[in-house]
Structure 1
Amino acid sequence: MSYELIAILMFSAMMLMLMTGQRVFGAIGFVGAAAAMLLWGTGGSDIPFSAAMKLMKWYPLLTLPMFIFMGYVLSESRIADDLYRMFHVWMGPVRGGLAIGTIGLMVLISAMNGLSVAGMAIGATIALPELLRRGYDKTMVTGVIQAGSSLGILVPPSVVLVLYAMIARQPVGQLWLAGVVPGLMMAGLFVLYIAIRCHFQPRLGPVLPAEERDIPLSEKLSLLRAGLLPLGIFAAMMVPFVNGWTSLVESSAIGAMTAFLAAVLKRRMTREVFETSVRQTLAISCMFMWIILAALGFGAVFDGLGAVRAIEDLFTEQLGLSPWMILILMQLSFIVMGTFLDDTAMLVIVAPLYVPLVQALGFDLIWYGVLYTITTQIAYMTPPFGYNLFLMRAMAPPSISIHDIYRSIVPFVAVMVIALALVMAFPQIALWLPHAVYSK
């Protein structure tokens, strides 16, 4: 049996197990370990064992529980409520101001917790009811929350980019810095779209009534201080790292400790908040560790088979495709997979094939990590089975139908495609900041 056929059988077996409802790490890990044993006998058991040892020795993995803990402390202690109150007061006089403020809220939530689900939950429970109550168009604001929550896997500290860094063997710090400018650019494009649309269609985003806007300046400044607290925590964590004063792991510890102290000083660190934060941190950290372990074992078997070289030869020599055509086909495959898989599952399934192939084609793996995250953001929001669509359906009030949710994301997906095209056409959008920082 040829190695190419073995690779196809491995992918087919893995997809079949996923369709039966098996957990992602279980399906991938089992197929990788079983293939290693069948191909190389008892010596094949060294592959999953070696993957486990590599995982345990990967020092930057310590950042994962730190950032997850930081995010849950800030969200469970309701500091996010202060953020939205700040945007509510300061952006209310502008047409579409609360929707624009919601995008700002999502950017700061992303800097607090590198998971898009957290942004979706906070946006749907805090922002959505307020926007609907003040007469905002339900279709537009549903799209705003879905689009804003997708920034969680691009703006640092992105947990998904930590996973990509481990699988692609790239520095986490460079990947995070590479996501900053594209993430802010995408948020800026969202704001620009909302502002332009509400300018020409004021009924979609009416200004707040005067009685809600006329509050003392001292109260406005107090809300500003409370709302900018998460930004201060993010600065306390990232400034020492960017300037080279601390390592990435040390910065993550600073972030977790600063968030904990902020919750204590605001008298919101209750036993329930602490217990929930620790439990969720443990659960998500263990899930990601199992996924990384499974992906490393599966990828090691692919390396041993030489499947990547065979696929590269098929695309470039036999089919005659250019590197850019291959790259675009890879991005389209992410959008297709996004109809039934989340971002981590998509990455670990195709990473053993795509990451070495991208490198062989001569593309930068840091840049490709940003392309991957933007593409999975688009896949999350693409009908008929986008991951974010069903999350929104579960969290939205009954007045918002699935048809409204599908309609709401069309313009925002178009904006995200524009952002993806810009990063592909101008790689320095992603690569400038990491090069500037790491060249010091």
Structure 2
Amino acid sequence: MSYELIALIMFAGMVLLMLTGQRVFAMIGVVAAASALALYGNAAIELPFNAVFKLFSWYALLTLPLFVYMGHMMAKSGIAEDLYQMMHVWCGRLPGGLAMGTIFLMVIISAINGLSVAGLAIGSAIALPEMLRRGYDKLLITGVVQGGSTLGILLPPSVVMVLFAVIARQPVSDLWLGGVFPGLMMAAIFALYVYVRVKFNPKLAPKLSEEELAIPLREKILLLRAGIAPIIIFLLMIGLFVTGYTNLLESSAVGATSATVAAVCKGRLSLKLLIETARETMSVTAMFMWIVLAALAFSSVFDGIGAVRAIENIFIHNWELSPWAVIILMQVSFILMGMFLDDTAMLVIVAPLYIPLVQRLDLGIDHQMVWFGILYTMTCQIAYMTPPFGYNLFLMRGMAPKEITLIDIYRSIVPFVLIMALCIVLIMIFPQIATWLPGYFRG
């Protein structure tokens, strides 16, 4: 049996097992273990042993539990709810002001969280009921919450980017910096879309009453205090890291400590809150560790049989595709896989294939792997929102008010998915949007 056929069987077997709905890391690990035993016999016993030590030697993974803890602490301590009240008052006079304020809220939450789930939970629990009560169109606001929540994996400190950096052996700082402008650009286009649509159809977002708008300026300024804690946490964490005063692990510890201090200052820290936050932190961290371990084992076997070189020969030499055609095919495959798999499973599948191949492509782009990491993250955002198995679709169905149906959720995401696709095209045409900031800080 040729190595190309072995690689194809491994890849197809892993995809089929994942479609069973079982644990991702278990399905990947089963394929890796079975392939290793079939190819190498008893020598394959060393494979998981070596993968464990490689996993524990990756310094960036130490930051993962701290970032997850920080995000859950900020969400559960009610700081996000205060932020929404601030946005509600300051954006109320704009057409679709509450929807635009929700997008800005998602940007702030993303800057202190790094996960999509927290933003979606906050938007569903706080923003959706409030906007429905005020007569906002349910399709518009459902799309806003879902689209805005995906910014959590694009803006720093994105946990997805940490995982990509570990597997692709790229500096996490470069990926974080690379996601800043694309994330802000996407948020701005979301807000512009809401503004223009409401401007042409005011019925989608009724104006606030005069009583609500007639808030004294002094009270408005006092409400700005809700944004102080998140801004301080973000500046402390990212600012100290980018300027070189702290390393990545120290910055994550600064963020986690600052979030806890903020909860104390607001009088919301309790033993129950700490226990819930710790439990969820351990759950998410353990899941990521098992997935990375399984991915290492799989990629060791996959690369050992020369599968990456075989894929390169097929794309470049046999099919005679240009480097840009290869990148476009990769992006299409991301979107297709994202209809059935979550972002972590996608990365595990494509890492052994795509990352070495992208490193060999001559695209003429500075910080090429950082640029590709941003493209991957942006396609993950689309994957989160595309049926039939988009991760955010089912989370939204479980958390949204009863009057919002699954069909409403599916219909609401169409314009936001199109906006995301437009942003991906812009990043491909103008890669400097993602690469200028990392290049600037590297001198």
Q: TM-score interval w.r.t. the shorter chain?
A: over 0.9
Within the candidate set 396, 400, 405, 1:392 is matched to 396
Report deviation, 1:122.
0.8
Moved more, 40-49 or 308-317: 40-49
Report deviation, 1:290.
0.7
Secondary structure (helix, strand or coil) at the match of 1:228 reads helix
Partner Cα separation in structure 2 for residue 259 and residue 390 of structure 1 = 29
**Deviations for 1:177-206, whole angstroms, at most 9, x for unmatched residues?**
111110111001101111111111111122
Is 1:249 matched up with 2:249? yes
TM-score between the two structures when normalised by the length of structure 1: 0.97
Secondary structure (helix, strand or coil) at the match of 2:244 reads coil
Is 1:84 matched up with 2:88? no
Within the candidate set 374, 378, 400, 1:374 is matched to 378
Aligned to 2:430: 426
1:197-276 map, 5 Å = 197-276=197-276
Contact 1:84 1:227 in 2 (8 A): no
Contact 2:67 2:256 in 1 (8 A): yes
Report deviation, 1:38.
1.7
1:19-418 map, 5 Å = 19-363=19-363, 364-418=368-422
**Gaps in structure 2 of 5+ consecutive residues:** none
Partner Cα separation in structure 2 for residue 120 and residue 185 of structure 1 = 20
Report deviation, 1:209.
0.8
Partner Cα separation in structure 1 for residue 202 and residue 21 of structure 2 = 46
Partner Cα separation in structure 2 for residue 366 and residue 212 of structure 1 = 46
Partner Cα separation in structure 2 for residue 95 and residue 305 of structure 1 = 58
Partner Cα separation in structure 1 for residue 20 and residue 410 of structure 2 = 27
Partner Cα separation in structure 2 for residue 113 and residue 276 of structure 1 = 16
Moved more, 381-390 or 407-416: 381-390
- The residue type equivalent to 1:26 in the other structure is A
Secondary structure (helix, strand or coil) at the match of 2:157 reads coil
**Deviations for 1:75-128, whole angstroms, at most 9, x for unmatched residues?**
110110000000011111111010000001111111121111111111011000
Partner Cα separation in structure 1 for residue 45 and residue 442 of structure 2 = 39
- The residue type equivalent to 1:431 in the other structure is T
TM-score between the two structures when normalised by the length of structure 2: 0.97
- The residue type equivalent to 1:425 in the other structure is I
Contact 1:87 1:102 in 2 (8 A): yes
Contact 1:85 1:227 in 2 (8 A): no
Contact 1:83 1:228 in 2 (8 A): no
Contact 2:66 2:252 in 1 (8 A): yes
Q: CA RMSD, aligned part only? A: 1.2
Aligned to 1:12: 12
Moved more, 314-323 or 184-193: 314-323
Report deviation, 1:322.
1.3
**Gaps in structure 1 of 5+ consecutive residues:** none
Partner Cα separation in structure 1 for residue 178 and residue 39 of structure 2 = 39
The count of residues paired between Structure 1 and Structure 2 equals 439
Moved more, 74-83 or 8-17: 8-17
**Deviations for 1:247-304, whole angstroms, at most 9, x for unmatched residues?**
1111111111111111111111011111111111111011101111111111111111
Moved more, 48-57 or 219-228: 219-228
Partner Cα separation in structure 2 for residue 68 and residue 399 of structure 1 = 32
Percent identity of equivalent pairs: 61
Contact 1:106 1:119 in 2 (8 A): yes
Moved more, 353-362 or 99-108: 353-362
Contact 2:106 2:151 in 1 (8 A): yes
Contact 2:341 2:389 in 1 (8 A): no
Contact 1:62 1:249 in 2 (8 A): yes
Partner Cα separation in structure 1 for residue 162 and residue 209 of structure 2 = 44
Report deviation, 1:402.
2.1
